[in-house]
Amino acid sequence: MLNSRHLIDLDHYTLEQIDDILTLAKMIMNKPQYYTDSCHGKVMATLFYEPSTRTQMSFQTAMLRLGGSVIGFDNPVNSSVSKGETLKDTVRVVSNYADIITIRNPYEGAAKAASMYSRVPVINAGDGGHLHPTQTLTDIFTLKETKGTLEHLTVGLCGDLKYGRTVHSLIKTLCRYPGNRFVLISTKELALPQYLKDIIVETGHQFQEIDHLTDAMPLLDVLYMTRIQQERFTSKAAYEQQKGIYVLDAPKLARAKYGLKILHPLPRVDEISQEIDDDPRAEYFNQTEYGMYARMALILHMLDGSTKQLDTIPEGDDKHYCCNPKCITQTEKYLPPAFYCHKDILVCEYCEHAVDRE
């Protein structure tokens, strides 16, 4: 199942591959002028089935700064999809035009599905609430450059830990490095799912849960802030009452270590007060620049030695089916059902939701 020709899930890459990419990203950052023409003559397609200007601009800039060029769309109504075309057909065709494809799609598993029909490498730029691996690559490159290491860090994660896919991916990745501790800062309703707590423990790491950001501040080497959407609270009253607890402002920051680094996947709304934007511990704007270099390195890594080819489509597992309504298999009916076993539970290979065995 693991196919490092594409980047669907950062977990599919070995630590050695990840380290290679981070090392290359640093080399590019130090001497960008050496890489100005590295992708001369190459074309990237950005297939954005839902708009995400920020992410799309980051990928476009990365490709353009390597001397490549970019085609694509940012709006499903303008695409052939609106004429009823399948994801498969779109990808088959676009992979004839482009040398590498970046795809964002609201359905979970869409990037994996796309990779099955692409003659060129596919990068997952977000498949619904499932994965967003280049954000995680951005996050760990920022950590590595600002903290000097990915090991033995005390990492606070604040906000929506239940639904936040960037939080989940970051925890899973940091659990592959030794000695990290996690401080989980959220309401009970938005606590980290149990399966991720299990991963932390099983990989020999520790976590603690704290209600208030204020209490957590002195402990942290890293603070990863995320937006809490108002809709996530049980009531508007609960939102109004609690939201300040999870807003990072100057008084809370005053309790932090000198070497703290603050990250945020952006866009932020008001969970970080603007008064700390120019504090040297605020790395969330710089993070976007690290992300650009990380994506440049990723593109170079994936194009290196890449040849146009179609993967073999495996036989489908006709005995089971995925009932996650947001799974790409719900809308693209030709996709062969595929599952893997995790702790006696059958999991859909596309969206990674558990399947009830029949």
Contacting residues toward its own copies, per CB under 8 A: 33, 36, 40-41, 43, 45, 51-54, 57-58, 60-61, 64-65, 67, 69, 71-75, 77-80, 83-86, 88-89, 92-94, 96-98, 266-269, 274, 277, 285-286, 288-289, 292, 334
Work out the number of other CB atoms within 10 angstroms of the CB of residue 343: 8
Least distance in angstroms from the C-beta of 90 to its own copies: 8
Euclidean distance between CA atoms 238 and 308, whole angstroms: 54
Least distance in angstroms from the C-beta of 277 to its own copies: 8
Contact 79, 49 (CB under 8 A): yes
Least distance in angstroms from the C-beta of 161 to its own copies: 20
Complex with its own copies: residue 87 or 200, whichever CB lies closer: 87
Question: Taking the mean position of all CA atoms in its chain, how far away is CA 165?
Answer: 7
Complex with its own copies: residue 151 or 270, whichever CB lies closer: 270
- Residue 339, SS3 per DSSP: strand
Complex with its own copies: residue 6 or 295, whichever CB lies closer: 295
Complex with its own copies: residue 123 or 282, whichever CB lies closer: 282
Q: Give 44-105 as a DSSP string.
A: EEEEESS--HHHHHHHHHHHHHTT-EEEEES-GGGSGGGGT--HHHHHHHHHHH-SEEEEEE
Euclidean distance between CA atoms 213 and 243, whole angstroms: 11
Euclidean distance between CA atoms 14 and 347, whole angstroms: 22
Complex with its own copies: residue 313 or 345, whichever CB lies closer: 313
Least distance in angstroms from the C-beta of 63 to its own copies: 9
Least distance in angstroms from the C-beta of 93 to its own copies: 5
